Amino acid sequence: MGNIVAIVGRPNVGKSTLFNRLTQTRHAIVSDEAGTTRDRQYGKSEWTGCEFSVIDTGGWVVNSDDIFEEEIRKQVTLATEEADVVLFLVDVRNGVTDLDEAVANILRRTKKPVILVANKADTNEWIYSAAEFYALGLGDPYCISAATGSGTGELLDQIVSKFPKTIDDETDENIPRFAVVGRPNVGKSSLINAFIGEERNIVTDIAGTTRDSIYTRYTKFGFDFYLVDTAGIRRKNKVTEDLEYYSVMRSIRAIENSDVCILMLDAERGIEAQDLNIFQLIQRNNKSLVVVVNKWDLVEEKNTVVMNEYEYAIRNRMAPFDDFPIIFASALTKQRIFKVLETAKEVYQNRKKRVPTSKLNEEMLPLIEAYPPPSIKGKYIKIKYCMQLPDTQIPSFVFYANLPQYVKEPYRRFLENKIRERWDFSGTPINIFMRQK
């Protein structure tokens, strides 16, 4: 199971700096789309062979200038609900503030492991003054300097040791895992209920995870897969229910634990910044995708022209990756519900598809000869051979060239499009590698 670490604390204690330090400055999701003014602070980190996700809740405050206790309280509550380990960041140079005490009050009540981190302790004098944080009642403060990196090694050791020891999921590796994701009120629960129906007896829950249940096995009408439970379907917690931007955080675990993501959009509202954020998470985790436009029964004009316009708009917003199925459905009237499952199954099979090397070369080499990569500084690039790599997470193709470093992104995209035209990899990302022959 992917573990999640959340960084909480009042503004300007260095949450983003620590985030960048932990994720090796592989930056937050920064998107130029209008509507995403805040960074979505989400990244991956790895320490002693243990991989985990890091979330900086500071990137989520609505108006970061006015420090509303209420805002911070919501953030901290959400972090304690969703994360496995909470890092509470305080600033040694400011000492204990009222806001720190307010945060500590919430954290003392949580069952989750909380690590108190005293930041900006770059000298011994500052390390001594960190003792006053014992007053927060959260144990030993770990003194670090996020800016210089001192003390972060011990902190990482501590984080990794606190992860819940989950029994490995007893899920069968060969059975696909589907996650239904999307922003609040788009109809995720209705869709899942439409799949499962009221006959809950076909549902088997797998214990052994920290959550009540992560996977639900579905075996009906010739299907066999796991539905990844998007946490929060069962819990209607008012604090976070009304907050749009938390749906991203809610989706992280489900996306990381699935093979195929069923991204639900609202037919009446179209694509919003929120949907794009979730889409980016799916892409960054290399997951396959099926887009479901829900509430299609509520759209007045339902002709093919409207459908095509809608489809074009969706692909346009999600470019450059636009080779994925889009289904217009209604969870309420159960219209095209099984189409969703069938498509998810096909997309999963595309993810596992192998193209024989001889076939690949037979189709691709003549194309490459007709449209070779543009020459750079008078050097001609020759691609002599290609193959699909075995046993990769997503279909990955390697092209052997004499000057692989000169093959640029547009040409890779050209190769990818040609592969997609000839073989059905709909819904699944593809890797294209250039290697020295």
Q: What is the pLDDT of residues 173-197, one digit of tens each?
A: 678 888 888 877 777 777 777 777 6
The annotation status of 224 as a binding-site residue, yes or no, is no
The annotation status of 119 as a binding-site residue, yes or no, is yes
The annotation status of 153 as a binding-site residue, yes or no, is no
Write the DSSP symbol of residue 57: G
| Closest among 303, 325, 304, 305 to 314, alpha carbons compared | 325
The annotation status of 186 as a binding-site residue, yes or no, is yes
Percent helix / strand / coil, the chain, rounded to 5: 40, 20, 40
The annotation status of 418 as a binding-site residue, yes or no, is no
Contacts of 115 (CB under 8 A, 6+ apart): 85, 86, 87, 88, 142, 155, 158, 159, 162
Q: How large is the average pLDDT for residues 412-430?
A: 91
pLDDT of residue 392: 84
The annotation status of 79 as a binding-site residue, yes or no, is no
Structure tokens at 246: 């938390």
pLDDT-derived band of residue 420, with 50, 70 and 90 as boundaries?
A: very high
Question: What average pLDDT is seen over the chain?
Answer: 77
CA-to-CA separations, 51 to 54, 163, 189, 266, 308, in angstroms, rounded: 10, 11, 30, 34, 41
List the domains of the chain with CATH numbers.
3-162 (3.40.50.300), 177-352 (3.40.50.300), 357-436 (3.30.300.20)
| CA–centroid distance for 336 within its chain | 27
The annotation status of 103 as a binding-site residue, yes or no, is no
pLDDT of residue 290: 92
Cβ atoms 86, 8 nearer than 8 A:
yes
pLDDT of residue 214: 60
pLDDT: which is higher, 127 or 345: 345
The annotation status of 139 as a binding-site residue, yes or no, is no
The annotation status of 236 as a binding-site residue, yes or no, is no
Contacts of 88 (CB under 8 A, 6+ apart): 8, 9, 103, 104, 107, 114, 115, 116, 117, 138
Q: How large is the average pLDDT for residues 147-167?
A: 79
Q: What is the pLDDT of residues 36-93, one digit of tens each?
A: 334 456 777 888 778 888 887 765 544 444 556 677 777 787 777 778 889 888 888 8
Cβ atoms 79, 106 nearer than 8 A:
no
The annotation status of 417 as a binding-site residue, yes or no, is no
pLDDT: which is higher, 318 or 33: 318
- C-alpha to C-alpha distance for 167 and 57, rounded to whole angstroms: 28
Structure tokens at 252: 């992280």
98 C-beta neighbours (distance < 10 Å), count: 9
The annotation status of 231 as a binding-site residue, yes or no, is yes
The annotation status of 187 as a binding-site residue, yes or no, is yes
| Percentage, residues of the chain above pLDDT 90 | 8
The annotation status of 396 as a binding-site residue, yes or no, is no
263: pLDDT strictly greater than 70: yes
The annotation status of 120 as a binding-site residue, yes or no, is yes
pLDDT-derived band of residue 230, with 50, 70 and 90 as boundaries?
A: low
Q: What is the pLDDT of residues 134-145, one digit of tens each?
A: 888 888 888 888
The annotation status of 148 as a binding-site residue, yes or no, is no
The annotation status of 358 as a binding-site residue, yes or no, is no
pLDDT of residue 195: 75
The annotation status of 208 as a binding-site residue, yes or no, is no
- C-alpha to C-alpha distance for 411 and 299, rounded to whole angstroms: 40
Q: How large is the average pLDDT for residues 29-39?
A: 37
pLDDT: which is higher, 295 or 212: 295
